Amino acid sequence: MPQNVLLAEDDRAIRHALERALTLEGYEVTAVADGVEALAQAHRNRPDVLVLDVMMPGIDGLQVCRVLRAEGDRTPILMLTALVETADRIAGLDAGADDYVVKPFDVEEVFARLRALLRRTGGSDGFAAPPQSPAAASSAGPATPAGSAAPDTGGLLTAAGLRMDVQARRAWRGARELELTRTEFDLLELLVRNAGIVLDHATIYDRIWGYDFGPGSKNLAVYVGYLRRKLDEPGAPALIHTVRGVGYALRED
């Protein structure tokens, strides 16, 4: 069955061009011009994925995202934004978005990001957590030495003072539960499963997004930065370490 995309974009030319391109790519597209219509359509007929412009009159894309997440709707959301500052991108992630594309964009990048989001959710409805995340599917990790992966005890992953219940999609640092978006959880799971191992950028992009967006992409850095803000505690050691020019590793120094 064709997968349904709910597209909300107030720029008529962009909306029509993207609707046409997505339709030719094989998606069923419902295109609306503002956030009010987007929420109405999402409530009327839940899509497989949403593509939301950030800057829309009335209810903008961030507000649409916040409303859906507050309702418990976990449908994957791709944001379209002309805002290039890291703080603006973090605002989108904080609202509950799963990924973003910066305008002007190449439509092939939109296709790639949509495919990655839909693979991660398995095409299920927005209220069902995926049975297995991309990180779990690749639990062996890249050339992981025997015994170095995080112990899995009774369905829980543990490493560096972190605990993760993959089935329930919950995570804790010590006694504090972490509020994580879908992408943040998948990224943390991948790092925990490969605790102490440096994962390069290409490997993380492939495992989490299913696509390497190239050396110029800031997507991974934004997610790592946001995840650090949720993990770090005053006086406690940092857990995610940058290996310059290579990638990231989870360890408690």
The span from the CA of 81 to the CA of 95, in Å, is: 14
Confidence band of 147 (pLDDT split at 50, 70, 90): very low
| The pLDDT value given to residue 248 | 92
The pLDDT tens digits of the residues spanning 188-247 come to: 999 999 988 888 888 888 787 766 666 666 778 888 888 898 998 888 888 999 988 888
| Edge-first strand listing for the sheet containing 4-8 | 28-32, 4-8, 49-53, 77-81, 99-102
Q: What is the pLDDT of residue 203?
A: 85
**pLDDT tens digit sequence for 101-134:** 888 888 888 998 899 888 876 644 433 333 344 4
Q: How confident is the model at residue 71 (pLDDT cuts 50, 70, 90)?
A: confident
pLDDT of residue 128: 34
pLDDT in tens, 93-103: 778 888 888 88
**pTM above the 0.75 mark?**
no
